[in-house]
Structure 1
Amino acid sequence: MSTLPPFIASQPATSMRRGFFWIPGDLVETDSGTRQRGAMYVEWLAGAEVTKPVPLILIHGGGGQGTDWLGTPDGRPGWAQQFVEAGYLVYVVDRPGFGRSPYDEELLGKSQPSMSSETASFLFAPQEAEEKHVQWPWGRAPGSRELEQLVAGQSFLFSDREFSQDLDARRLVELLDITGRAALITHSAGAPAGWLALNRRSDSVAGIVAVEPMAPPFADIRGNELKWGLTSAPVVTDQAGNDGGQEQSRLRDGSARIAGFAGAPMLLLAGDASGFGRGTQIQAAEFLRAQGADVEALNLAGCGIEGNGHGLILEKNSNETVAPVLQWLDSTL
């Protein structure tokens, strides 16, 4: 790892076009005038020539932001640049209320406390996994430089997860109206937005790569109850219009199918040293296959990439962890 500041560290020069725009929020009449609720910031990146036919939309996890895809805690280029160099047009979003997408408590509701260093360590660099989790080469305790680089970009989760996920999905659908058919690449708690966007606009979603998605189905993950399988927000099923409670029960017993999932290509990617565990990803894959999706569940160790945890997009071998994703995209899209 270089000890030089990122802006003078030895990195290859690259040529890239980039810009940004906004998906405006809902217009709300308030005592202070007309205000926007839940705008979404979108940054686009492309090389001198785009050679791949389907663009990619990158959706960050938890309390993070789009910068999670742009670089690593030690200052190296992130997955977004790898996709651009492979010929893709890439859109990186800040989910509504996160990063450069403004958060307004009056319009978006209360949030939970911002992420602590201890929580970040639990998720991304657990002490008990140190022996196996060799691709996180930095400190694991609060105060470690790279850990605190990661924490600095993290904020909070909405108290109302159902509302937050629904808002994410609505903005993604509006983005798909602009981009046209695209593939979604999600990480961690950003996964529900991808599942919901597929449910609502399946003809515009070419496929989903879910990196360490929230799972297993119907679990309560630190207060995030996945009441609809892999989402907290409701999905439309093949029995649309029925009572919501009945549809949740039908999804649990396997007698309902989520609209838009049949035949949808999906890659579920997990690290072999992740605290989320291989079992949760297997259960998620089984649930999605039961919905008719075309699912490949890949643990990185299965292709010779070992020692990665939940933050595999950020770890020291991020140039290796993206390789199976690029291969899947090329063969699938």
Structure 2
Amino acid sequence: MRPLALAGMGSFTAGGRKVRVEGEAVETISFSAGFRDYAYNPNGEFWIEQSYVQFFIPQEKQFPLPVLLVHGGGLTGSCWETTPDGRLGWQESLLRRGVATYTIDMVERGRAGFSSLPGIWQGRPLQRSAEEAWALFRVGTRSDFASRKTFEGTQFPVEAFDELMRWAVPRWLTNTEAQVAALVEAVRKIGPCYLIGHSQGGGHALVAAEREPELVRACVVLEPHGAPTQFEQAASRPVLLVQGDFLDFDDVWKGLVRNADESLNAWRRGGGVTDVLDLPSLGLRGNSHMLMMDRNSETVLDLVMDWLVRIDVYQWKQEDRT
């Protein structure tokens, strides 16, 4: 593999808010064996709920607009970097295709803003078990987790499942608006771009696209959930829904598929354009929920990029006419 030449790289934060804590007692703590008996004052001004965005700009751009990758629930931006079994992740693959690539850590995940302050976040953090992930990510049924029996023909690299679980992080169920707000602010800092969102990140991407229709030129959503069923200003922007295999194996996924269909219908009613990339109907069988990690992830990305190229050419032609 030839060396990857970059014109630039870096990171920034987006979104967030200041909060002030008052009335808490000062306590004596020890940071380390050599830094003891420190009077820690938990009162004051704090920044929380900002996203973290890392970016890489290829030296030779082959694509006019950057792509912002949005991870799903209980994961971080690391899910785009490398597959669990060590193959090329979509982040580097996009760069090697000449696409400027931005990867976000959403609020409370990875290197993004976190809050341990009392009374700020409601609820408690949840962490997904391996058994739950095995079924929810459609590697196999929960009852078959112990034997590691998979769905027949699965594309997920099962030998690396434990590595995927090492990437999992806790999540709150009450920070949706903070996450979306920070994503929208990231889009504003990046400028015109395309969004690729997975799972919960796909739902967030659609909301961000409606809030900033002039900046989000198109969305690719990989098996999204949590998207609204009403959009007011989709502004003729195109959305591509990508979905894998084994979607009818339980009622949970049947419901998620119905919800995704309802969101796409709402996008069309709001003035947007939608396409569906149903991988099994194209002869690509065995894809799990983790489409960007499956063994055929490069083939899936080829199809996504083919769509983005067509959309890009179409949009520039439309703008030339105006």
- TM-score (ref. length: structure 1): 0.76
Aligned match of 2:163 in 143, 149, 152?
Answer: 149
| Deviation for aligned residue 1:306 | 1.7
User: Counterpart amino acid of 1:26?
Assistant: R
Paired position in structure 2 for 1:114: 127
Aligned match of 1:178 in 189, 200, 211?
Answer: 189
Provide the secondary structure at the position in 2 that maps to 1:42: strand
Q: How does 1:78-157 map to 2 (within 5 A)?
A: 78-106=89-117, 107-124=120-137, 125-127=139-141, 130-139=150-159, 146-157=160-171
User: Counterpart amino acid of 2:295?
Assistant: K
> What are the ranges of 5 or more consecutive residues in structure 2 without an aligned counterpart?
23-42, 313-322
Paired position in structure 2 for 1:245: none
> In structure 2, do the counterparts of structure 1 residues 316 and 12 end up closer, same or farther at CA, with 3 Å as the change threshold?
farther
1:290 matched to 2:269: yes
Aligned match of 1:211 in 219, 222, 232?
Answer: 222
Contact 1:258-1:291 within 8 A present in 2 as well: yes
- Aligned residues: CA RMSD: 2.2
> In structure 2, do the counterparts of structure 1 residues 303 and 70 end up closer, same or farther at CA, with 3 Å as the change threshold?
same
* Aligned counterparts of 1:147 and 1:273: Cα–Cα separation in 2: 18
User: Counterpart amino acid of 1:258?
Assistant: F
* Aligned counterparts of 2:123 and 2:301: Cα–Cα separation in 1: 35
Q: How does 1:160-199 map to 2 (within 5 A)?
A: 160=174, 164-199=175-210
Paired position in structure 1 for 2:79: 68
* Aligned counterparts of 2:298 and 2:214: Cα–Cα separation in 1: 31
* Aligned counterparts of 2:9 and 2:306: Cα–Cα separation in 1: 24
| Deviation for aligned residue 1:282 | 4.0
| Deviation for aligned residue 1:24 | 5.2
| Deviation for aligned residue 1:138 | 1.4
Number of aligned pairs? 276
Between stretches 283-292 and 83-92, larger displacement belongs to 283-292
User: Counterpart amino acid of 1:188?
Assistant: S
1:20 matched to 2:34: no
> What are the ranges of 5 or more consecutive residues in structure 1 without an aligned counterpart?
1-10, 140-145, 215-225, 232-250, 252-256
* Aligned counterparts of 1:319 and 1:291: Cα–Cα separation in 2: 32
State the identity %. 26
Provide the secondary structure at the position in 2 that maps to 1:306: coil
Contact 2:16-2:113 within 8 A present in 1 as well: no
| Deviation for aligned residue 1:207 | 0.6
User: Counterpart amino acid of 2:239?
Assistant: M
* Aligned counterparts of 2:45 and 2:169: Cα–Cα separation in 1: 26
Residues 101-134 of structure 1 show CA distances to partners (whole Å, capped at 9, x for unaligned) of 1321433333332111111111222237834342
Contact 2:15-2:186 within 8 A present in 1 as well: no
For the pair shown, the structure with the greater C-alpha radius of gyration is 2
* Aligned counterparts of 1:49 and 1:21: Cα–Cα separation in 2: 23
Paired position in structure 2 for 1:48: 59
Contact 1:112-1:156 within 8 A present in 2 as well: yes
Provide the secondary structure at the position in 1 that maps to 2:102: strand
| Deviation for aligned residue 1:14 | 3.2
Provide the secondary structure at the position in 1 that maps to 2:214: helix
User: Counterpart amino acid of 2:21?
Assistant: T
- TM-score (ref. length: structure 2): 0.79
Aligned match of 2:231 in 230, 250, 258?
Answer: 258
* Aligned counterparts of 1:93 and 1:285: Cα–Cα separation in 2: 24
Residues 173-200 of structure 1 show CA distances to partners (whole Å, capped at 9, x for unaligned) of 2112211111111000112221221222
Paired position in structure 2 for 1:158: 172
Residues 71-104 of structure 1 show CA distances to partners (whole Å, capped at 9, x for unaligned) of 1110112111121122211110000100111321
